[in-house]
Homo-oligomer: A and B are copies of this chain.
């Protein structure tokens, strides 16, 4: 048997679900995890416990792996280059991944290739933030540290130069962006292989609560065929131009133009399976996780088309009740078609500990089922 070994760096839920998707392919899966209790480390056979920031650890882990891929985007670029120099394929590679690691690099590159983004520039200090505001429509302004942010962390919305001091304290370059008056958030998810084959999932609507993804609706309701195709083409262009291998999530702002038509601006990029693609586990012919595995192995990609008219994903956040398992009785009995995906993580308030998927022909019903289950598991709905 010549089945390859996929080395996954990072033990979070994305690694867990990628392992799950890899089992049917018969590939070997090897995990580098911070602790044996991490989400993926609980369910993977071959686990190495170690720190991905340590090059020697990474190098030792990569021995015997046919390809390295990631649960997160935090591995230092120079470490990835060292692995490549050792002859280990790294997918996505460091030249692509830097665009998901550094928002400054990402904005510069997207602008260069003509991908529409919010107005932006690197700012030096709070006074420079005030100048950035004056160059456009004034405050509020969005400030982001170029590295290290996710799920609303590393992002500030400031209404004055005085409020702008905090982001500069980390000593990381700060990117200023106009605060876009978007109508909603969308995501265009694509998967690309080293061969250059790419597939595009339907564009989805992503509903955020407190800066964290709450609900994803696939496909995005009331999205014109033109704008949907345009968003998919943008994502495919980004994947090709940046040399992405694997899953690429392009988070978008939908904005209404003065003439009443809509356009999209790119908000963020993620080069790994992404929360906005979790619906594909139960709603698409091939899930984002299965296609990510196929892409990093340079296998032909699977059909990304939806299996249901509507699929809705709702994140399950930790609430006040640590025991989510007992909630299964109600949720499963109420909805025999409910698909639960838990991550094996301890419940902490606000922490993503799982998600649910529902699908069907009636969007209102599909949304209600997902919202009910997610709320009941969290403990905010009790009947």
Contact = CB atoms under 8 A, between A and B. Distances in A.
Interface of A: 1-4, 16-17, 19-20, 23-26, 28-29, 41-45, 47, 281, 285-286, 294, 299-303, 307, 322-326, 328-329, 332-333, 336-344, 346-347, 354
6 contacts: A16-B23, A20-B20, A24-B341, A26-B340, A300-B333, A303-B336
Q: Which 3 A-B pairs have the closest CB atoms?
A: A26-B342, A300-B332, A300-B333
Contact of A23 (B20, B26, B325): B20
A286 B335 CA distance: 12
Interface SS of chain A: helix, strand, loop or mixed?
loop
Contacts of A301: 332, 336
A25 B355 CA distance: 10
B45 A325 contact: no
Given A24-B20, A342-B26, A323 B1 contact: yes
Given A4-B325, A26-B325, A302-B332, 5 more contacts: A1-B325, A3-B342, A26-B340, A286-B337, A302-B336
A331 to B, nearest CB: 8
Contacts of A43: 19, 23, 29, 44-45
Nearest to A335: B303
A285 B302 CA distance: 20
A324 to B, nearest CB: 7
B328 A299 contact: yes
A286 B41 CA distance: 26
Contacts of A300: 328-329, 332-333, 336
Contacts of A336: 285-286, 300-303
A26 B354 contact: yes
A322 B45 contact: no
A18 B1 CA distance: 23
Contact of A45 (B24, B47, B294, B326): B47
B347 A1 contact: yes
A1 B323 CA distance: 5
A208 B210 CA distance: 57
Contacts of A294: 332
A42 B20 contact: no
Given A337-B285, A337-B303, A1 B346 contact: yes
